[in-house]
Every structure is written in structure tokens, then in C-alpha cells.
Amino acid sequence: MHELSMANAMVKTVLDVAEKNNATEILEVTIEVGQLTMLNPEQLKFLLDVLVENTLLEGSKINIEEVPVEIDCKTCNYEGLPNMDGSDHYLAIVRCPECGGRNLEITAGRECNVKTIKIEQEDDADASGSE
């Protein structure tokens, strides 16, 4: 899979934002990964730990939050989790657990989102520098 290129993109995003906000230290990073992305959180974590060496991110706490799959049924308007108790959870995205309809939109579970960071900055730094 493409954990490495995703991890690289995440590190770059975080470092860019940290720099723009005059961070002296990055304490924490929270990343959301959708369950349908096929990104393996363990592997992502490992790669992030390697990639952050000698950057401002070294030693930061990295939280990876898995985002469950949600569907929106166009037939019965069911919104929520698909039926994931079957053995093959990927096929569950295909049928609505309420009406069995197959006209579904996947509304969550495909994200790969750098959500928030907690940084330490100089007191007089301009925190609005991110935009």
C-alpha cells in the first residue's frame, strides 16, 4: 500500500503549519484515517516514527484515529454504519443494513486527514499566520 507516500504528505503538512505558526515544539498531532482507505494504522505509525527523525516532529505524540465507515442509503434514507458483523467487512459497504438496497453513498471512512496539532510557540508569535 501507499502508507509511505501518505506519511510523507502528512509530515510535510504538519511541518508547514508548525513553521507558519512559529512553533518551537510540536507536542501532539492527531490524524484521522478512514477504515476504507486500506491504510494500515500500525504501518503508518511506524513510518511516521521513522520519517520524523531530526524534524520538529521528533518525539511528538502522534494520535491516529480510525474513522468508521458510514453509508447513506438512497433507497430508505438510512444513514449510519453499514452492517460490519459479516466476516468480509468490505462487502458490507454494498448493501444497506436496513432495506438491503444497493444504491449507497459512502459518506465516511475514506479520509486521510491531518486534523489538529498542539504546538508550543513564542508568546508573541502570530497564531493567525496559518492562512
Partner 1 sequence: MHKIADIEIQHDIMVANKKLARRNQKIFDKANTFSIDVLGAIGSGKTSLIETLIQKMDYKIGVIAGDVISKFDAGRIERYNVPVVGLNTGKECHLDAHLVEHALPDLPLKDIDLLFIENVGNLICPVDFDLGSHIRMVVISVTEGDDTAEKHPLIFKDADLVIINKVDIADAVGADSDKMVADVKEINPDINVIKSSLKTGEGLDEIISAIDGFIKDR
Residues that bind Zn ion (CB under 5 A): 73, 75-76, 78, 96, 98-99, 101
Question: Could you tell me the smallest distance in angstroms from the CB atom of residue 48 to partner 1?
Answer: 13
Question: Could you tell me the smallest distance in angstroms from the CB atom of residue 70 to partner 1?
Answer: 15
Q: Coil, strand, or helix at residue 95?
A: coil
Instruction: Name which of residues 25 to 84 contact partner 1 (CB under 8 A).
Output: 27, 36-38
- The grid coordinates listed for 92 are 458490507
Question: Which of 78, 97, 113, 131 touches partner 1 by CB under 8 A?
Answer: 113
Residue 37 or 47: the one with the smaller Cβ distance to partner 1 is 37
Query: Residue for cell digits 453509508?
Result: 71
Burial-class residue 115 by CB neighbours within 10 Å (0-12, 13-18, 19+).
Answer: exposed
Q: Does 91 help bind partner 1 (rule: CB under 8 A)?
A: yes
**114, 14 in Cβ contact below 8 A?**
yes
